Amino acid sequence: MNSYGHIPEATVARLPSYLRTLVDLAAVGVSTVSSEELAELSGVNAPKLRKDLSHLGTYGTRGVGYDVDYLRFEINGALGLANTRPVVVCGFGNLGRALANHTGFTERGFPVLAAIDTDPAKIGHTFDGVPVHSPSEIPEVVKHHLIAIAVISTPVEASQGAVDRLVATGIRSILNFSPINLTVPADVELRSVDLSTQLQILGFHLQKAVIDES
Amino acid sequence: MNSYGHIPEATVARLPSYLRTLVDLAAVGVSTVSSEELAELSGVNAPKLRKDLSHLGTYGTRGVGYDVDYLRFEINGALGLANTRPVVVCGFGNLGRALANHTGFTERGFPVLAAIDTDPAKIGHTFDGVPVHSPSEIPEVVKHHLIAIAVISTPVEASQGAVDRLVATGIRSILNFSPINLTVPADVELRSVDLSTQLQILGFHLQKAVIDES
DNA sequence: CCCTGTGAAAAGGTTCACAGCA
DNA sequence: TGCTGTGAACCTTTTCACAGGG
């Protein structure tokens, strides 16, 4: 029942990285870690890490550091990972299949329990344990698997339609990989990851480096 | 030779989205667009869009709006997309293959010209036009294809090693998809996209919504 | 003495109202 | 009049220095 006060968005975005580092440390048998070490391994600076953790509570021991298992438990709780969130993948092409197979999803409490695709050759079959359904079956699939989150990996032409169907069945969390700006009601949380956008940002800095040299 | 002054990072991150919208508008035959429309279609508000564009230059016409083709040309130039940047994909598993096939990469000037993998069954073969090489061939591959950017889609255990090899051959732009915090020299730009991090952020807000209701 | 937790300052980003040009 | 471009206010995030408990 801890409500964790108010955690800034920038902090929330970094918590998964800290959690990953803590899991790795625990696997290697480390039981205590300083903010300096944890920050270094997580790719941030120490004051930022401490400020981030201070928003969750005071889980460290002055003069010592943080207990790996305890901090791990607390971040896990803050992120709501105590609960498993079943996921449906919409669009079972190359990317969709890669995502459905992504072990990191299941490992972190986001099992992909079903996929949606329009290809009759795929519908009704199961690939790597993931059953493929037609778009018309979305309501049943969502209800049956208690789906909490939808991943969009359809071609761009199909993504807005898929989102509309999902929203109509009550889905309120969507992770979009198709390169298009989707429209959702205000109470639906949509996060978009455009793979080429990342390359374009890298491209910008490459070019800037050349200009700066001249 | 336009150096574009100094463009804030937050603006750079949004330019690809504006560019995408402009390309779509041009495809539908729209030749002029207001900041209000362009912002709406790009998923931002109008003042933010105008402020972003003001960092590139004054490309609009007061009382009228922006010329779609001209603005598209300018953003393209600002992002350095006038040049093609050949890409190598390291780790040719499910995700690597999906990325290598991703049409958005080639369309936006980032052709995937080669892949690297340790699997002897893949090395020496070509999949969907992408030749697969062994890690030891990285220097030759980079030189031969004038590779500018590397994408990491290896298992976590292999990613730091792959990055080290790439950096040694002179690669200075890396897009990492493996869920681990990689270490690179200060002059190498590393961007990381952890797919499960995005789900965890969605999970956080899901949980918060439940708490807020109580 | 060591390392965490935090207030205060600085930097970066967003919003707004409106000046100014077509 | 209409819509862009921008200075100023506001908010968020980061940084820093150090207070304070083990």
Q: Is the pLDDT of residue B2 over 50?
A: no
Best mutation target among B37, B95, B198, B208 (most A Cβ atoms within 10 Å) is B198
Residue B133, min C-alpha distance to chain A (Å): 21
Give dist(CA A133, CA A122) in Å, integer. 8
Q: What is the pLDDT of residues A53-84, one digit of tens each?
A: 999 999 999 999 999 999 999 999 999 999 99
The SS3 assignment for B130 reads strand
Q: What is the pLDDT of residues A41-52, one digit of tens each?
A: 999 999 999 999
Q: State the pLDDT at residue A1.
A: 41
What pTM was estimated for this model as a whole?
Answer: 0.95
**How many residues appear in chain A?**
214
Residues of chain A with Cβ-Cβ distance to B15 below 8 Å are 200, 204
Q: Is the pLDDT of residue B151 over 70?
A: yes
Residue B209's pLDDT band, with cuts at 50, 70 and 90, is confident
Q: State the pLDDT at residue A4.
A: 64
Residues of chain A with Cβ-Cβ distance to B203 below 8 Å are 79-81, 83, 85, 109-110, 149, 173
Q: Tell whether A13 lies on the interface with B, counting CB pairs under 8 A.
A: yes
Mean pLDDT across B70-85: 97
Residues A65 and A116 in one domain: no
* A112, A99 contact by CB (below 8 A): yes
Residues B68 and B16 in one domain: yes
Q: Cα torsion at A160, A163, A167, A172 (round to 10°)?
A: -120
| Domain span at B166 | 87-197
Determine, yes or no, domain membership for B207.
no
Give chain C positions with protein CB within 7 A. Answer: 1-7, 12-17, 20-22
For tokens 């999902």, the residue is A166
Q: Tell whether B48 lies on the interface with A, counting CB pairs under 8 A.
A: no
The domain tally of chain B equals 2
CB atoms within 10 A of CB B110: 26
Q: Tell whether A105 lies on the interface with B, counting CB pairs under 8 A.
A: yes
The spacing between the Cα labelled CA in B202 and the C1' in C4, in angstroms, equals 30
Question: b/e map of A50-60 (b: 16 or more CB within 10 Å)?
Answer: eebbeebeeeb
Segments in chain A below pLDDT 50: 1-2
**Residue A94 main-chain phi, psi, to 5 deg:** -55, -55
The DSSP letter of residue B188 is S
Nearest to A173 by CA among B196, B208, B199: B199
Residues A48 and A94 in one domain: no
Residues of chain A with Cβ-Cβ distance to B205 below 8 Å are 173, 189
Q: State the pLDDT at residue B212.
A: 76
Q: State the pLDDT at residue A142.
A: 98
End residue of a domain, out of A78, A96, A124: A78
Residue A199, min C-alpha distance to chain B (Å): 7
Among chain B residues, CA nearest to A183:
B43
Helix axes A156-168, A138-145, angle to 10 degrees: 60
Give dist(CA A179, CA A163) in Å, integer. 14
Residues B39 and B120 in one domain: no
Find which nucleotide's C1' atom is closest to A65's CA: C3
Nearest residue to D6 (CA, C1')? B51
Determine, yes or no, domain membership for B2.
no
Chain A window 6-45: residues with CB closer than 7 Å to nucleic chain C are: 33-36
Mean pLDDT across B69-92: 97
Domain of A99, CATH number, reads: 3.40.50.720
Q: What is the pLDDT of residues B10-33, one digit of tens each?
A: 999 999 999 999 999 999 999 999
N-term to C-term CA, chain A? 58
Q: Tell whether A156 lies on the interface with B, counting CB pairs under 8 A.
A: no
Q: Which residues pair with A131 in a beta bridge?
A: A126
Question: b/e map of B152-184 (b: 16 or more CB within 10 Å)?
Answer: bbbeeebbbebbebbbeeebbbbbbbbbbbbeb
Residue B80, min C-alpha distance to chain A (Å): 5
Domain of B53, CATH number, reads: 1.10.10.10
Residues B26 and B65 in one domain: yes
